[in-house]
Structures are given as structure tokens and as C-alpha cells.
Structure 1
Amino acid sequence: MENFRRMALFAQVVQHGSMSAAARALGMSTSAVSQQLRTLEREAGVALLHRSTRRLALTDVGSRYYTACVRLLDAAGEAEAELSAARHAPSGELRLSAPLGMADHIGPALGGWLRDNPQLRLYLHFEDGWTDLVQARIDLALRFGRLPDSDWMAQRLGVLQRWPCAAPEWLQRHGAPSDPLQVPASDWLGLAQVPGLAWRHRVSGQERQVPAHPRIVSHNQPAVRQLCESGLGVAVLTCLDVIPLLADGRLVRLLPEWALPPLPVWAVTPHRQTQPAKVRQAIELLGDHLAQMPDAADTCG
């Protein structure tokens, strides 16, 4: 690294034509510049400059060395420009990990941005588990719920409301419950601990702890939603999952008088340092998209 600094200093001396001019450009004293050049020549074992009281001139080896120094400095300048561009404009490949339930939302959230930035590439990794971001070379991961302890950086994007839903077929068999305890414990779909969350009545503030022994358990929310559509039970789904299904009647929202704790949504990145523009802008766009999701009050009867 010290040799690289001396190479840059040598190039500055040649370009400015004198040590004093180079010293002024570099904010150094002329004696310090002279000392650095003598050290460079001593370590190289050759003279790079002919010195006189009036001018400097390159030796033959100094001329060749100067050409190599300029190429190296140009390459360093290009590298610095790449870093600067990455900080200020999205470029390269964005590697994004998200739950399967987000698959239908990446396009609406990021589509316009991708069209406006053709130099940007997107790699999508969908899963409902917990990926090692470093090993998978993930730039940005969307995660729902409680996060495990890690050294990664997490930024809260917002929350999603959770609604119990069932298919019309299930309602024909069981009727519409007015209390979450009226849902048979075996008819809950998905993860057992979701119905086990505290339910709160919106008016009275009364709380319920609802036991659940689901016959069908899955970590895959799209699969749970499809099973719910088939009339096999009641699933607690996010508004992100079910808004279109509620609109066309494939699912019915149950127990609107009861509220479940909302589901936090996080943007997780493997680095705590300054993020490149592609990551910062993607986080902002995904947060804006989630902010457009309705809260419980929008559809509560």
C-alpha cells in the first residue's frame, strides 16, 4: 500500500513538472515529496528522474515506470468510480430472498424500478425458511415475524394484518363462528402456534387463547392458502395473501370482531455498513408497497 502511494506521488511529480508543484497539489511539503521519491528510487534500485536546479527529466526506466503507474492509477480511478456509482445509482445484480407468499408482489413493488434501470439485474430466491445470507450471497432478504438473533442488520418495513379465513364450503358445513373457540381445534390449518396467539375482541377488549391441534401443518403459506380454498379448514392468513381471494369470493374472512397481533415485516441485510443504492432503493420500494396494504379497519364490519 505504501508503494502504491509513492507510485501515485511519482506520477503527480511527472504530471506537474516539478516537486514543488506536486507538493502544492498534494498538500505536502516539497521536502516530504523529495524524500518519498528518494525512498522509491532506493527501494527500486534505479534512478527514475534526472534532477537539475531548473527541471526534472525522466530516465529511460523512469519513463516506462511512469507509463505503468498511469495505467495502475487509471484502473484505481475506474474502481473508485464503480464504487461511487454503486452508492448513488442501482447497478449490477440484486440478490433478493423472500417468502413464497411474496411471489405475487415483487413485480408490482419493483417492476417499474427495474424498467427504469436496465443496467440492474434481479435474482430471486423464494423460500419460507431462514437462509444464510452470506453463504447464499443474498443482498436483501424479506422476513416475517420474530427474527432469530444474528449479526445481520434488520430494518422494520411495516406490519401485515392477519385474518382467519375459510372457504364457502367450510362455512356451509360449520356455519360462521362468532368466537375463535367455536372453531374445532383440528380444523385450524398451518402452524399450530398461530391460532395459539392471543385473540382480542375489538370492542370489549376480552382476550382468548385458542387451542389448536391442526390436522394439516405446513410452513408453506401458499400451500396453506390452497388447502383453505379447498374447504379443509380455517387458516390465519395475511392480508397480503387473501385480498384478491376475498374480493372474488373464494375465501371469506371470519371473526372480524376479533383481532390478532399483526405480523412484522423486516428487510434483512448481511452488512451493517453503508448499503449500495440497489439495496437502499429496493428496501424503500418494498416498504412503500407494503404500506398500501389495508389494515383491519378497512374491511372490518
Structure 2
Amino acid sequence: MLDDLDLFVAIVDAGSLRAAALRLEMPAPTLTRRLQALEARLGCKLLNRSARRMVPSNEGWQYYEQCKPLLAALRQATASLDATLNRVEGVVRLMAPLNMANDMLLPLWERLLRDHPQLRLELKLNNNMDDLYSGMADLALRVGEQTDPSLQQRRVGAVRTILVAAPAYLEAHGEPERPAELAAHRLLMSEPFQRWKLRHRESGEEVEWPVAPCLQANDMLLTRRLAEAGAGIAVSPLSICHRQVADGSLRRVLEPWEIAVRPVYAVWPQRRALPARVRVVLDALLAFAAAEPRLQE
């Protein structure tokens, strides 16, 4: 009905059916038919037709004066929404795990700020999903399977988790060769690794290891730093200990034994269409992950 109302206003503004048809690039019979259908729905005559002109009836003038400003406001709102959805500018609120955002994803933030100067990033570094559900965030990066049907998701990659310890600790306490030998060591664990399973890369043998650690924390960076200081063997994502493994300040322990990789997803509310500014961030994240070896399985 909005389209037919727009046609009615165009006819009144043009002053005749023919002029309106030319302006709208529409056959005059089609315009007449749609006008008649609108009048039938409203139950009144909107235009008095003469040989040369179409003059609004009293009801037509009233309808025209009420509807024209509404149509103008609707066009303005549509144009404003189109600009919001299609321009890469404004605020993007993104949630991401603290340690990953502070380390592996640093080049991504730098690239986004460099390539899109009109973009403003608001990063909330936590694992809380409440802001996403309440609309206070546009996008979230989460590790682990995502089972909430109210969220859309794209798989970004996967993160590996390894056992690491300082060379000085291993020299002082010996290096375990089998998972069972971990029971004699000081284990440093962080959430969500309260329980974990080791699988031998070649034989496929699996061992679940719910060993009580000497330290349990909710910060992965803390356990890595304690491992660097020689406090024990840490269960650590490769994404936050890769530099220490590369420079030798940490050594992998039980290297033939692997902990299952954990998938990484970008998630956002199901009910929303992604504005261009959010789509740019998502696309940049996917491109970065595709080129980042630490996010490959």
C-alpha cells in the first residue's frame, strides 16, 4: 500500500495522470489501475478526474496533506539507515578473549585502524556474552564450540594447547616422558583446562588427566609467566606462549602427546543484519586468521 500511496502523492504533485506517468516512467493505464485499487481499499474517491486535470477530492486533499510529510520522513529515515548500513565509519563494539586480543590479534587491530580511519573500535576483552545478547556489542570472538541457536557464527580457525616448562625447571625436576609422570610435577592450570585429555600423535592412545594442579587460575597469562619463572609445567595455548617457545625460555613437554585443538568462532546476534562497518571487521578477522599459522589446525 505504501507504493500506491507514493503514486497518489506523485499524481497530485504532477497535476495530471500523464505527467505523473512520465515522471515515474510508468504506463498511464497501470497508474490508473493502481489508483483505483487504492481508492477501493480506502472506500472513497481521492481524485476528481476531468479531461485535462485530476483534482483531489476533499478526502483526497486531507489524505494528501497527512501522508506527504510521512512519506518524506520515511524516505529520510531510509536514506539515513542506508548510510548507516553501507558506510565503513562509526563505532564497532567487539568482544574478544583478553590474552588473544593482547597478543596474536595485535596486527589485526593495527591493520583495521590503518585501513579504515573513519572506524572506531571499542574492544571489550572478556568472555562474557551478556553484552552481545543485550545489544551492547556487535561481534564477539569466542573459543570453543558455540551451541546457542540465537547467534550466527563463522568459524575463524582453531587454537592449539601445549604443555610448557622453563628449561631450569626441567633440569631440576626431570622431564616427563609419559603422561603418568606428570603426577610427580607441579602443574599450573588456568580455565578452561580443569580437565583435559592427551592423545599420542602416532599411536592414537588417549589419556584423560584430571590431576589436581598446584595452582589454578582464571588467567592464562599468569600460568605462562609462572612457567617462565620455573614454577612448574603449564597448560598453555600456543597463541600466548609461541614467542617463549621460539626463544627457548619455555620448552614443550610431552611433545608427541597432543591436547585437542579448540575451534575459534566469530559470533553475532541472529536478529541483526551486519552493517558495513561490522562486516569489514568480520572480513578482516577471517582474512587474518586464514593467513595466521597459529590459528590453523
- TM norm structure 2: 0.79
CA distance in 1, matches of 2:15, 2:184: 86
Shift of the alpha carbon at 1:34?
Answer: 4.5
Evaluate the alpha carbon distance shift between residue 70 and residue 116 of structure 1 in structure 2; reply closer, same or farther with a 3 A threshold: farther
CA distance in 2, matches of 1:185, 1:89: 59
CA-to-aligned-CA distance 1:17-68 (integer Å, 9 cap, x gap): 32355468367440431563687795xxxx9867532124579998998688
**Identity among equivalent pairs (%):** 35
Matched, 1:32 2:31: no
Using the TM superposition, name which of 61-70 and 152-161 deviates more: 61-70
Please show how residues 125-274 of structure 1 align to structure 2 within 5 Å. 125-135=124-134, 137-184=136-183, 187-191=186-190, 194=193, 196-271=195-270, 274=273
Evaluate the alpha carbon distance shift between residue 85 and residue 253 of structure 1 in structure 2; reply closer, same or farther with a 3 A threshold: farther
Shift of the alpha carbon at 1:243?
Answer: 1.6
Amino acid of the residue matched to residue 254 of structure 2? L
Using the TM superposition, name which of 107-116 and 50-59 deviates more: 50-59
CA distance in 1, matches of 2:3, 2:183: 74
Amino acid of the residue matched to residue 176 of structure 2? P
Q: Say whether the 8 Å CA contact 2:190–2:219 is kept in structure 1.
A: no
Evaluate the alpha carbon distance shift between residue 248 and residue 98 of structure 1 in structure 2; reply closer, same or farther with a 3 A threshold: same
Paired position in structure 1 for 2:79: 81
Using the TM superposition, name which of 21-30 and 159-168 deviates more: 21-30
Paired position in structure 2 for 1:101: 99
Equivalent of residue 50 in structure 2, options 37, 49, 52: 52
Using the TM superposition, name which of 207-216 and 273-282 deviates more: 273-282
Q: Say whether the 8 Å CA contact 1:160–1:262 is kept in structure 2.
A: yes
CA distance in 1, matches of 2:135, 2:53: 57
Paired position in structure 2 for 1:17: 15
CA distance in 2, matches of 1:208, 1:191: 19
CA distance in 2, matches of 1:191, 1:135: 28
CA distance in 2, matches of 1:245, 1:122: 29
CA distance in 1, matches of 2:65, 2:111: 45
Q: Matched residue of 1:212: which SS?
A: coil
Q: Say whether the 8 Å CA contact 2:162–2:259 is kept in structure 1.
A: yes
Amino acid of the residue matched to residue 131 of structure 1? D
Q: Say whether the 8 Å CA contact 2:156–2:286 is kept in structure 1.
A: yes
Amino acid of the residue matched to residue 247 of structure 1? A
Using the TM superposition, name which of 255-264 and 204-213 deviates more: 204-213
Q: Matched residue of 1:8: which SS?
A: helix
Amino acid of the residue matched to residue 115 of structure 1? R
Evaluate the alpha carbon distance shift between residue 55 and residue 129 of structure 1 in structure 2; reply closer, same or farther with a 3 A threshold: closer
User: Greater share of strand residues, 1 or 2?
Assistant: 2
CA distance in 1, matches of 2:51, 2:178: 98
Equivalent of residue 92 in structure 1, options 90, 93, 97: 90
- TM norm structure 1: 0.78
CA-to-aligned-CA distance 1:68-121 (integer Å, 9 cap, x gap): 855544443343334444554433321111111122244411332333323322
Evaluate the alpha carbon distance shift between residue 213 and residue 243 of structure 1 in structure 2; reply closer, same or farther with a 3 A threshold: same
CA distance in 2, matches of 1:232, 1:68: 77
CA distance in 2, matches of 1:273, 1:253: 43
CA distance in 1, matches of 2:89, 2:168: 49
Q: Matched residue of 2:199: which SS?
A: strand
Amino acid of the residue matched to residue 248 of structure 1? D
Q: Say whether the 8 Å CA contact 2:186–2:232 is kept in structure 1.
A: yes
* RMSD (Å) for aligned C-alpha atoms: 3.7
Mind listing any 5+ residue stretches in structure 2 that lack a counterpart? none
